[in-house]
Structure 1
């Protein structure tokens, strides 16, 4: 699994200098030695203690997640103030993630297709314009204007009645906090994890709960830091239903019908 870059040291230095504090004055305020603070800022302490994370999180009023995972130097002053006010932007992809796109000859954004063979490469090159430009590009009718869309093949039966081998069209979600509970999404996960198509609910501790439509599969959670991109379900295409697309409302009706059938079978078996 790929190692995630940690920004703890550079963030400490950035936040200290932003408040116009010397190493001596900050160390004295926190009850630390200047040499320890200097080592933390410069990454010379390879394994900071949990208390260190909590100490700086409390002092700067920024979550441990953001201290570790977000390059604070890339944020604007307004974003930093939002962060210090407790509005954790780590879940807002628009503020810390850059989406690479391609456009056609008339400057209209393309819909890129990520084939199975390109999945591993996509996890490494999702923000690389050259890699994105190498993907197959399509134009789909009737997509809402002003949004980015991408197509992902899915496998397995965890999201039945969406069949195995379908292609899901997803709309790029910049702000993950805007997702309603059980929003169907394609998630691009860090490391060796596959793309997943699940019902997504954002939890209070910045984890994401992933649930399948197929009740045979147990729900599970992933850390926000392990999620690279979120693409909200728009439609799907399937070999089993040629050239068809379905809205989520139609899909949910199908699920309810299946649930009623299962309930009826249980009732019949009990008599």
Structure 2
């Protein structure tokens, strides 16, 4: 909890509360708030949970992110937006599919119920019912061996803080459109996401978190391409010679009286 003390002071002051007012909200003595902010004492878990509700932050943000140094704008914890989803006749969410041709329109229509209703949708088994999913058709060869036309199914993330370094994500961005990359989360340091292609021909680059509209964690993919088997090591001349000798030996056994 290295940043808890400084974060508590920053968030309290930003909210316009005095130590006395915050103490009253928590049912504590003012001296306890002073001790928390000075780092002389740490609050109980129940108090931390109450603080996250008061300041609208996550436990991770409150305890592990250097808000004082980087500013609240880097946290971006608030939900990126309210999702528009498609339901079936049983009020179960369907997976809306954003094809290549629809990707440009998606940047303007993702919050439009009418637009979303006109997208193709489908269901998949074995996916958690507690998440919202969307499918995106990828283009280009930056994420080989997944070929252009592969459909990546992603689960919606409410916050960049949920990104796991090195995992693959579909990012819906203001400037770059829809991109599928391997992502590293550096928002606590630079306010950016570092994105990497699996195809090493393409160079990594940064995307400002301010440019990100949606984040979808890759959970499955659908493709008509079956990957080729891993090529075996080339056969040496010695191995070929041995194979020929074995074949000759077998022939002799068959033809001998």
Shorter chain as normaliser: what TM range? 0.5 to 0.7
Q: Which residue of 2 aligns with 1:79?
A: 56
Q: Which residue of 1 aligns with 2:184?
A: 201
User: 1:219 aligned to 197, 204, 207, which one?
Assistant: 204
Contact kept in structure 2, 1:90 and 1:96, CA below 8 Å: no
Measured at CA, do residues 156 and 17 of structure 1 come closer, stay the same or move farther in structure 2, by a change above 3 Å?
closer
Equivalent-residue separation in structure 2 for 1:174 and 1:18 (angstroms) = 23
Measured at CA, do residues 172 and 96 of structure 1 come closer, stay the same or move farther in structure 2, by a change above 3 Å?
closer
Equivalent-residue separation in structure 1 for 2:115 and 2:77 (angstroms) = 20
Measured at CA, do residues 93 and 228 of structure 1 come closer, stay the same or move farther in structure 2, by a change above 3 Å?
farther
TM-score normalized with structure 1 length: 0.57
TM-score normalized with structure 2 length: 0.60
Equivalent-residue separation in structure 1 for 2:204 and 2:114 (angstroms) = 36
List alignment gaps of at least 5 residues for structure 2: 1-12, 18-52, 234-257
Bigger mean CA deviation after superposition, 196-205 or 94-103? 94-103
Contact kept in structure 1, 2:133 and 2:153, CA below 8 Å: yes
- Residue 95 of structure 1 and its aligned partner are, at CA, apart by 2.9
Contact kept in structure 1, 2:100 and 2:139, CA below 8 Å: no
Measured at CA, do residues 145 and 127 of structure 1 come closer, stay the same or move farther in structure 2, by a change above 3 Å?
same
Q: Which residue of 2 aligns with 1:126?
A: 110
Tell me if 1:97 matches 2:81: yes
Q: Which residue of 2 aligns with 1:56?
A: none
Q: Which residue of 2 aligns with 1:268?
A: none
Equivalent-residue separation in structure 2 for 1:176 and 1:80 (angstroms) = 13
RMSD: 3.2
Q: Which has the larger radius of gyration?
A: 2
Contact kept in structure 1, 2:80 and 2:214, CA below 8 Å: no
Q: Which residue of 1 aligns with 2:132?
A: 148
Contact kept in structure 2, 1:89 and 1:95, CA below 8 Å: no
User: 1:237 aligned to 222, 232, 238, which one?
Assistant: 222
Contact kept in structure 2, 1:113 and 1:135, CA below 8 Å: yes
Q: SS state of the match for residue 79, structure 2?
A: helix
- Residue 79 of structure 1 and its aligned partner are, at CA, apart by 1.6
- Residue 175 of structure 1 and its aligned partner are, at CA, apart by 2.1
Q: Deviations over 1:103-154 (max 9, x none)?
A: 1111111100012221111101212222212211111111112111111001
Equivalent-residue separation in structure 1 for 2:192 and 2:146 (angstroms) = 25
